[in-house]
A and B are shown apart, each in its own frame.
Chain A
Amino acid sequence: MLWALVALPVVFGTALLVAGRRADRAAPVVAVGVMLAALGLAVATAFRHTSVTAPLLEQLPVRLAVDGLSGLLVVTVTAVTVAVLLFSAAEFGREEARSRFFGLILLFAGSMLVTVTSVTLPVLLMSWEVMGATSWALIGYWWRDPERVDAANTAFLTTRTADLGLYLAAGAALASSQSASLSLEDLPGADEPWLSLITAGVIAAAFGKSAQLPFSFWLSRAMQGPSPVSALLHSATMVVAGAYLLLRTGPLLEASGWGDEVVAWTGAVTAVALGLVAVAQTDLKQLLAASTCAQIGFMVLAAGVDGTTGGTLQLIAHAAAKSLLFLVAGVWLTALGTKALPALHGAARRYRTVGIVFTAGACSLAGLAPLSLWAAKDVLLSAAREHTPWLYAVGLAAAVLSAVYSAKALWFVWRPQPAAEEQQLDTEQRGTRHVPRMSVPPLVLLAVACVVLSPLALPPLADAVERVLGGDSQPTPYAWELGLSAALALIAAAAAWAWGGRVLPLPARAKGWFRDWLSLERAAQALVVRPVFWAARSAAAFDERVLDRGVEGAARSAVGFARWSDRTVERAVDGTVTTVAAATRALGQLARRPQTGQLHQYLAQAVAAFTVLAVVLVLVR
């Protein structure tokens, strides 16, 4: 059953991709059908807790398993994907390459399913990287536009840079020989220094995928993709994969002795810093993207303080809210042709239903009581409080920021629209001024999910989730914590609403810095990309001017040496031979002279010779 769950989307996704435009008409139906079947299978496996194994490499099998954590995740992933697919079916018209889009989404969701069910490193790495590659194809879906392809390249290369960590971790795990099968649960048993290397690798890979500091910038660029892609990428797949991995490898982080601190603090700092970035944005999709980094920061924080329950609740609740918000942003982008906040004045009034579901999502994101993200955050923050009060304080600050940016977005879209502002629309594409009827139901579904999930993070159900997840019992938030965070969120949201669209009294440079996502991408360009290109050019120049010339020079000097031998040595040798020949000839001529043919002369020669011989004999004796 588990095989079927992961194989269904992968196989059908590949089939759609291979079929190409021929399957355009059938693609949406096939994709939704496949994903609904997968949802059914996911629910079934979540209750069953099965595991399957297949051989892959020498003594390194593929093992997939569903336990409490992955059970919750497979259901979340498939459910959100179904909603996104339903929306896309209405959104993507006949002129688009639908087969490619739906095929890629299926492949993408399939690799996420493998990621959350894999319990050995090789298969985790496989699905992890395939997810990155499909995200490249999805972000660059409109490939005619070079900017979108640039964004796709940035996303893939940034995440792959971090993925190298998993390769390192796999090698280190094998080298430590404690975990010869490379299964995730054996990783904490490795010995130093391999243990630290494994931990560092896993953390790097997770931060990259989850767009934590310092990798956050790729997520900003990823907004160039179609809105359904953003909705899926930012909610239940891809970016949460990193947080999931950290939640899954909690024992490893703890065993390393330093990993949990690094993870917790990076999560907390990301939650605050990217929260500020979100507040500074003037573009709805950028605001949502930054808020994704910040919200995932909470999950990462939870992983660092062993707050698995809180982290998981946050993950599920955030998935519902964020996919909804991105889809609505996409609706407005299609209808109004813009995603700039000032231009979206009154967007929620124009399309009332869409506005209301957006409000539900934004209130949840703000952490307003009693919606799900409010209590989920408190569950994980209470784990942080047990760890150290500082983390709790930073987390609370980040929660306040979530309320601020959510309220800011709400304020813009609900403000009555002045008639003169029509010209601000259509800045990015021609709006249709129309919301397709079929794209509303999935939004409503997600909004309902946002509301219905609310009690999940509160005591009776939260305890059930904790039991499902297994593991040690975790701190539950006190009533005062819940009250405090609810009050803070409400006050912050109200303040932000009251402040409205006024300019913040901050130096322009600081605002620019936050709006530019802390200039992270520029830093990466300057520190990594440009030096690499410089090195590439120098290496190519060296190759051409030194190595290749060297070889040619060797060949040329061989020819030169040959010529020189021809001229000098050869002449000398030839000269010697000629001289010898000439001398021989002379001797020959000399030897010919006695051969006169006259008998008396021969006799005289014989007499002379015998005389000499006789003299010699006498002397020698």
Chain B
Amino acid sequence: MLTALVFTPTAVALLLLVLPRRTPESVFRIVWVVSTAVLLAFVVGLWAGYDHGGGMQYEVRARWIPSAGVGYHVGVDGLSLPLLAMTCVLFLACAVHSLRQTRRVREFAALFLFLQTTCLGLFVSLDLILFFVFFDLSIVGMYFVIAGWGHQQAARAALMFFLYTFIGSLALLLGFIGLYLAADPHTFDMVELTRQNPLAGRSVYAALVLLAIGIGLAVKTPTVPFHTWLPPAHTEAPAAGSAILAGVLLKMGTYGFLRIAMPMLPDAWRDYALVIVIVGVVSVLYGALVALAQTDFKRMIAYTSVNHMGYIILAVGAAAATADTSEQARSLAVTGAVTQMVSHGLLTGALFLLAGVLYERGRTYDMGAYSGIAAAAPAFTGMTAVAAFASLGLPGFSGFIAEFQIFTGSLGPRPVATSLSLLGILLTAGLFLRALQKMFLGPLRLPDAPGSPRAFPDVRAHESVAVVPLLMLAVVVGVAPRFLLDVIEPASRAVVELLAR
């Protein structure tokens, strides 16, 4: 089941590449949209068949490199299933959004389908090497998306993105090898490693492994101070690329914390929880402050991602405290963290796609170049306003459900840090309101093309078909989150229990 889900997109990508050269571009577009829609339906099916209390499900094991303790082992539980669904939704949205894309459509579609394989594969991996392979392949895929379809400075940004995250992944590999060597018998199997807890009682070794894994994941997440690759990558990437990069690829880092670092290194995680919490709070406040100072719309959204990921780091750090805090609070924090991953994927995906709409019309992301867009494009304004308010954590949208759980769960264990990071939602409110005011409200002024003022048409059908479902899902999660939380909660309770060993 899962194997089919993971490798179908790549199969379709290969099919696209071997189609005869004279195939019209519309065929590629349609195949792309249809296959991502089928994948989404597939995940919905998985969700329907998923037993909420059943732990790891749809498991598949196969021999791969037995001599090195590496196996092909995949499965889903409450941590990964929501992310799988979010990934499929976002890739479908990107496929629809790119319906009017004209630059090398075949390669673009194939590359995105390949990226989808790497993302889905990473979230179902239950073997560290398999995880690592998908982790690195996603970097490769995204490198080509940015370098091949980005804006003016794309090559440079893509290179920086590739090198930075690749070096991060090497640190990750080092940590994985550390875990492998500590296990008895040697294995890379995640389930086995979690069960064994191989580094219990070996604090220095465990600390070093956690450091390596932590840096590897922190680069990908990204947290301060490893985030500087993110803004240039986003500013230069095409809209769909940014949406996937922020929506899905960043989650690989935070998912790694929940899936690998916390359950496999519980002692070290508890010992260094304070460091993790501090990194989280700094990311929250620093990300929001730097975002507030930006003049480039896309760069601003990129920095809010640092802020939003900071809440997740805060929550997973706070969940480590065991002394005199209720299990309810800690599990609430972890549930909030997973909800935040889903929510951020939907909302940032929508915001980046909307930024793409903006760029296509004005050919710049500079906020100072626009004013009063609401007069020219009311529907576009409405969608951006909704996405912005959702992103600043307004109740009724998914962001609030996530952040409220994170704050409420983390305040007991870490009162000072959580109180400080509360200021983050105020700063994001300020920066989004400012951006809305600057670009969308006030008297109409649009960037001039040479000669005559450029027309600013409202959102087209394919653009709204891509964005509106993302926003609607955010509302559904924000108003009736039970369908999602029923899946996440057992898994987050399990993480909290593993952490308390």
A residues at B contact (CB < 8 Å): 17, 20-21, 55-60, 122, 125-130, 133, 136, 140, 143-146, 149-150, 153, 156-157, 160-161, 164, 167-168, 170-172, 174-177, 180, 182, 197, 532-533, 535-537, 539-540, 543, 547-548, 551, 555
> In the bound complex, do residue A171 and residue B225 qualify as a contact, i.e. CB atoms below 8 Å apart?
no
Given A164-B422, A171-B418, A543-B228, residue A146 in contact with residue B430 (CB < 8 A): no
Beyond A129-B394, A144-B441, is A122–B404 a contact (Cβ under 8 Å)?
A: yes
Q: Which residue of B lies closest to A177 (CB)?
A: B326
Given the interface contacts A170-B407, A539-B290, does A129 sit within 8 Å of B422 by beta carbon? no
Nearest to B332 among chain A residues (CB) is A58
- Main SS of chain A's interface residues? helix
B389 CB contacts on chain A under 8 angstroms? 133
B443 at the interface (CB under 8 A from A): yes
B411 touches A535 (CB 8 A): no
Q: Chain A residues near B419 (CB, 8 Å)? A: 168
Does B485 contact A153, Cβ atoms closer than 8 Å? no
Determine whether the beta carbon of A174 is less than 8 Å from that of B163: no
B378:A20 contact, CB within 8 angstroms = yes
Contact of A129 among B335, B395, B441 (CB under 8 A): B395
State whether A164 touches B228 (Cβ < 8 A).
Answer: no
B23 within 8 A of A: no
Question: What A residues does B141 contact at CB under 8 A?
Answer: none
Residue B164 at the A interface, CB < 8 A? yes
Contact A537 B293, beta carbon cutoff 8 Å: yes
Known contacts being A143-B374, A146-B441, is A171 close to B411, with CB within 8 Å?
Answer: yes
Contact, CB under 8 Å: B489 / A58: yes
Contacts of A17 on B, CB cut-off 8 Å? 382
Would you list which residues of chain B between 458 and 481 have a CB under 8 Å from chain A?
481
Contact of B411 among A153, A174, A540 (CB under 8 A): A174
Bound CA–CA A157/B411 (angstroms) = 23
Asked if residues B412 and A58 are in contact (CB atoms below 8 Å), the reply is no
Cross-chain contact B422 with A175 (CB below 8 angstroms): no
B57 at the interface (CB under 8 A from A): no
Closest to B375 in A: A144
A30–B422 CA distance with the chains assembled, in angstroms:
39
Is B412 within 8 A of A536, CB to CB?
A: no
Contact B408 A171 (CB under 8 A): yes
With A146-B437, A532-B289, A535-B289 given, name 5 new contacts (CB 8 A). A60-B408, A144-B375, A171-B407, A171-B408, A539-B289
Query: For residue B482, which residues in chain A have a CB less than 8 angstroms away from its CB?
Result: 55-56
Tell me which residues across on chain A come within 8 A of B395, comparing CB atoms.
Answer: 125-130
Q: What are 7 A-B pairs at a CB distance below 8 A?
A: A21-B378, A57-B404, A125-B404, A170-B404, A171-B415, A174-B326, A547-B228
- In the bound assembly, the distance between CA atoms of A180 and B328 in angstroms comes to 8
Q: Which residues of B contact A177 (CB under 8 A)?
A: 326, 328, 412
Within 8 A of A (CB), among B392-450: 394-396, 400-401, 404-405, 407-413, 415, 418-419, 422-423, 425-427, 429-430, 433-434, 437, 440-443
In the complex, per-residue mask of B277-293: 1 if CB is within 8 Å of any chain A CB, else 0: 00000000010011011
Q: Which residue of A lies closest to B396 (CB)?
A: A130
A130-B394, A168-B422 known; A175-B443 Cβ under 8 A: no
Residues A174 and B409 in contact, CB atoms below 8 Å apart? yes
B163, B426, B441: residue with the most chain A Cβ atoms closer than 10 Å: B441
Contacts A58-B335, A144-B372, A157-B429 given; indicate if A175 touches B394 (C-beta within 8 A): no
CB distance from B56 to the nearest CB of A (A): 21
Given the known inter-chain contacts A153-B433, A533-B292, please indicate yes or no for A58 contacting B329, CB distance below 8 A. no
Residues B411 and A156 in contact, CB atoms below 8 Å apart:
no
Bound form: Cα–Cα A398–B303 in Å: 48
- A174 engages B328 (CB within 8 Å): yes
Taking the complex as formed, is B379 at the interface, i.e. its CB lies under 8 A from any CB of chain A?
A: yes
- Name the contact of A174 in the complex, choosing from B228, B294, B332, B489 (C-beta under 8 A): B332
Shortest Cβ distance from A56 into B: residue: B481
- Cα A17 to Cα B227 in complex, Å, equals 38
Is B194 engaged at the interface, CB distance under 8 Å to the other chain?
A: no
Contact (Cβ within 8 A) B485 A58? yes
B3 beta carbon closer than 8 Å to chain A: no
A168 to B425, CA, bound (A): 13
In this assembly, does B169 line the interface, its C-beta being within 8 Å of a C-beta of chain A?
Answer: no
In the complex with contacts A156-B429, A164-B425, A171-B410, A543-B290 CB distance below 8 A: yes
* A386 → chain B closest CB, angstroms: 36
Tell me the dominant secondary structure on chain B's binding face: helix
Interface contact A20-B329, CB-CB below 8 Å: no
Whether B197 is near chain A, meaning CB under 8 Å from some CB there, is no
Closest A residue to B394 by CB, please name it: A133
Q: Write out the residue numbers on chain B whose beta carbons fall within 8 Å of the beta carbon of A128.
A: 395
Say whether B223 faces chain A, with CB atoms less than 8 Å apart: no
Q: A170-B407, A174-B411 are in contact. Are A57 and B332 (CB under 8 A)?
A: yes
Can you list the 4 inter-chain pairs with the closest CB atoms, starting with the nearest? A171-B411, A175-B412, A126-B395, A540-B293
A153 adjacent to B437 (CB under 8 Å): yes
Docked-complex contact B441 and A143, CB < 8 angstroms: yes
**Best-surrounded residue of B228, B329, B395, B443 (most CB of chain A within 10 A):** B395
Chain B residues with Cβ under 8 A from A175's Cβ? 325-326, 329, 411-413, 415
Docked-complex contact B433 and A174, CB < 8 angstroms: no
In angstroms, how far is the closest chain B Cβ from the Cβ of A269? 26
- The answer on a CB contact under 8 Å between A551 and B412 is no
Beta-carbon contact of B325 and A539 below 8 Å: no
The smallest C-beta distance from A117 to any residue of chain B, in angstroms, reads 16
Contact with A along B372-392 (1 / 0, CB 8 A): 101100110010000001000
- Asked whether B441 lies within 8 Å of A168 as measured between CB atoms, the reply is no
Given contacts A127-B395, A144-B372, A153-B437, contact A174 B329 (CB under 8 A): yes
Q: Is B138 an interface residue when CB atoms closer than 8 A count as contact?
A: no
Known: A171-B412, A174-B411. A157 touches B433 (CB 8 A): yes
Q: How far is the CA of A170 from the CA of B290 in the complex (A)?
A: 28
Q: Report whether A536 and B289 are in contact in the complex, using a CB–CB cutoff of 8 Å.
A: yes
Which A residues lie within 8 Å of B430 (CB)?
153, 157, 532
Chain B's closest residue to A133 (CB) is B394
Complex alpha-carbon distance, A261 and B395, angstroms:
32
Asked if B378 and A167 make an inter-chain contact with CB atoms under 8 angstroms apart, the answer reads no
Cβ contacts B324-360/A at 8 Å (1 or 0 each): 0110110110010000000000000000000000000
- Nearest to B372 among chain A residues (CB) is A144
Q: How many Å from the CB of B196 to the closest CB on chain A? A: 29
**Chain B nearest CB, measured from A147 CB (Å):** 10
Distance of B418 from chain A, by nearest CB (Å): 6
Give Cα distance in the complex from A161 to B427, angstroms: 10
Q: Name the contact of B442 in the complex, choosing from A20, A146, A536 (C-beta under 8 A).
A: A146
Q: Which residues of B contact A172 (CB under 8 A)?
A: 411-412, 415
Residues of B near A59 (CB, < 8 A) are 328
Determine the residue in chain B with the shortest Cβ distance to A182.
B408
A residues in contact with B413, CB < 8 Å: 175
Within B158-176, which residues are at the interface with A (CB < 8 Å)? 160, 163-164
Q: Chain A residues near B401 (CB, 8 Å)?
A: 57
Across the interface, do B411 and A168 meet the contact criterion of CB distance under 8 Å? yes
Residues of B within 8 A of A133 (CB): 389, 394
Instruction: Identify A144's interface contact among B331, B378, B423, B443, CB under 8 A.
Output: B443
**Chain B residues, CB < 8 A from A180:** 326, 328
Per the bound structure, the CA–CA distance linking A418 and B75 in Å amounts to 85
* Minimum Cβ distance to chain A for residue B400 (Å): 7
| B443 neighbours in A (Cβ, 8 Å) | 144, 146
Please name all residues of chain A whose beta carbon is closer than 8 Å to the beta carbon of B286 when the two chains form the complex: 539, 543
Among B293, B378, B401, B415, find the residue whose CB has the most chain A CB atoms closer than 10 A: B293
Using known A-B contacts A171-B410, A532-B292, determine if residue A20 contacts B441 with beta carbons closer than 8 Å.
no
On whether the beta carbons of A143 and B442 are closer than 8 Å, the reply is: yes
Which of A17, A149, A171, A532: most chain B Cβ within 10 A? A171
Is B400 within 8 A of A126, CB to CB? Answer: yes
Q: Least Cβ distance of B80 to chain A in Å?
A: 19
Residues of A within 8 A of B160 (CB): 551, 555
The CA-CA distance from A21 to B374 in the complex, in Å, is 13
In the bound complex, CA of A129 to CA of B429 (Å): 12
Could you say which of B382, B408, B418, B437 contacts A149, with CB atoms under 8 Å apart?
A: B437
